[in-house]
């Protein structure tokens, strides 16, 4: 069953990790076009060559004008925009005492401002009378629900994404726009971000093993498992789902 047949999607952070896994799943589900939006032009262009439904768009998610251009280009080319996945994100391992103001602002800019701008421009394109409704999917984290002693900036940013999602969902519902907005909260997921964070430690493999051991299911998530949830939320099967948060963490927050 191709649940996204005829739909047009834009996925930020689409060059790799959860973003790319989500784009691949959308293509499998029959999406007419999937725009991989990423600041990494080389990797993004290479990823876009994987599938005929893919196209690459260079996008700095913190840039308002760049967002406007990207969304306008999608609508001009395809006639409509049905799905936006705000997957781009960064993390800094630092406590409230060690995180610098520069690091703090950069994490908020990418994770919160980027999601805010993505939602704002998606709503502009999707709402009637020119749009036909759609689905917004914001990648938060279990770190947007529970705290970590050394994730001060990341916790704050992902908590912000969680509640921004609910505000957007309620606004769109009350306006009758036909736009749904939900958040996904992955736990430890085998992506470049996790590998890069582990590489910053003295023993990366030992750190990864400790992370896996802390998960009740005994392993980290695969990006494809997060993408499966995104595909559901993007589809018409989730037509009555908005303002909700979906935790995919192997049982970590159940403890």
Which residues carry out catalysis?
154
Phi and psi at 114, nearest 5°, equal -60, -40
**H or E element in which residue 105 lies:** helix 101-108
Strand order in the sheet with 179-186: 54-58, 33-38, 8-12, 83-86, 134-139, 179-186, 245-248
**H or E element in which residue 135 lies:** strand 134-139
Phi and psi at 85, nearest 5°, equal -110, 115
Can you give the three-state secondary structure of 182-203, one letter per residue? Answer: EEEEECCECCHHHHHHHHCCCC
Question: Helices 101-108 and 152-175, interaxial angle, to 10°?
Answer: 30
What dihedral angle (degrees, nearest 10) is formed by the CA atoms of 123, 127, 133, 137?
Answer: 10
Phi and psi at 33, nearest 5°, equal -155, 140
Q: Tokens in use for 29? A: 């589900």
């Amino acid at each position: 069953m191709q649940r996204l047949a005829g739909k047009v999607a834009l996925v930020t952070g689409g060059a790799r990790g959860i973003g790319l896994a989500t784009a691949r799943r959308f293509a499998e589900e029959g999406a007419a076009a999937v725009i991989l939006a990423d600041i990494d032009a080389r990797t993004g262009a290479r990823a876009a060559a994987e599938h005929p439904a893919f196209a690459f768009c260079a996008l700095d998610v913190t840039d308002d004008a760049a967002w406007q251009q990207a969304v306008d280009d999608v609508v001009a080319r395809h006639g409509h925009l049905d799905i936006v996945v705000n997957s781009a994100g960064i993390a800094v391992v630092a406590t409230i005492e060690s995180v610098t103001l520069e690091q703090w602002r950069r994490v908020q800019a990418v994770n919160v401002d980027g999601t805010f701008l993505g939602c704002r421009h998606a709503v502009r394109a999707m709402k009637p009378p020119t749009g036909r409704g759609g689905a917004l999917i914001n990648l938060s984290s279990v770190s947007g629900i529970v705290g970590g002693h050394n994730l001060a900036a990341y916790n704050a940013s992902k908590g912000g994404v969680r509640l921004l999602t609910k505000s957007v969902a309620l606004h769109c519902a009350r306006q009758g726009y036909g736009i749904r907005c939900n958040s996904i909260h992955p736990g430890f997921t085998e992506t470049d971000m996790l590998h890069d964070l582990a590489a910053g430690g003295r023993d990366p493999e030992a750190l990864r093993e400790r992370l896996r051991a802390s998960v009740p299911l005994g392993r980290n998530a695969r990006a494809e498992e997060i993408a499966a949830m995104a595909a559901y939320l993007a589809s018409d099967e989730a037509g009555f789902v908005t303002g909700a948060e979906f935790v995919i963490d192997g049982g970590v927050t159940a403890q």
